[in-house]
């Protein structure tokens, strides 16, 4: 199925841009008329994905984060967050709850949070080349009263 609308954003891995990414996705997905809880789920998952890029992928440097959002007529939303950072040597290990490479102040729950708020999530990563997180959520379509 072809997407009925698509958005692509590129922004730097500065912490201030986490809120921007969350707001941009919210504004774009609003055209599907999501419920408040559906929008909150998307916002939380996007925040976690972008924060992972900022904290882990580009640890001591600034790099680009690429976000792509596709909307489908059946309510399906696909969000891809990609970086060209350090990559993840062991994705399976990184996805374990409480595992972190970010130091004591990090909870290690980012992937778990993304998985819990989205219908599906996949992580592809190559050491030295970067990581792509692909998340999908179905928005309940409500009958419009036009």
82 belongs to the catalytic site: no
105 belongs to the catalytic site: no
Sheet holding 64-71, edge to edge: 5-12, 64-71, 76-83, 130-138, 120-126
Which residues does residue 1 pair with via DSSP β-bridges, in sequence order?
A: none
* Residue of 18, 22, 43, 52 marked catalytic: 52
Which residue in 38, 32, 21, 6 sits closest to 81, CA to CA? 21
104 belongs to the catalytic site: no
* Residue of 106, 115, 124, 136 marked catalytic: 106
* Residue of 18, 22, 43, 48 marked catalytic: 48
Catalytic residues: 48, 52, 106
């Amino acid at each position: 199925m072809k997407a009925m609308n698509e958005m692509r954003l590129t922004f730097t891995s500065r912490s201030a841009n986490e809120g921007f990414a969350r707001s941009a996705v919210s504004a774009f997905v609003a055209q599907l008329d999501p419920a408040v809880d559906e929008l909150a789920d998307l916002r939380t998952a996007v925040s976690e994905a972008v924060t992972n890029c900022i904290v882990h992928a580009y640890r001591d440097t600034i790099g680009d984060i690429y976000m792509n959002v596709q909307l489908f007529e059946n309510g399906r939303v696909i969000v891809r967050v990609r970086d060209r950072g350090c990559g993840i040597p062991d994705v399976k290990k990184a996805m374990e709850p409480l595992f972190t490479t970010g130091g004591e102040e990090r909870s290690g729950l980012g992937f778990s949070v993304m998985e819990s708020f989205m219908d599906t999530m996949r992580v592809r990563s190559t050491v030295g080349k970067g990581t792509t997180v692909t998340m999908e959520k179905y928005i309940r379509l409500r009958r419009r009263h036009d």
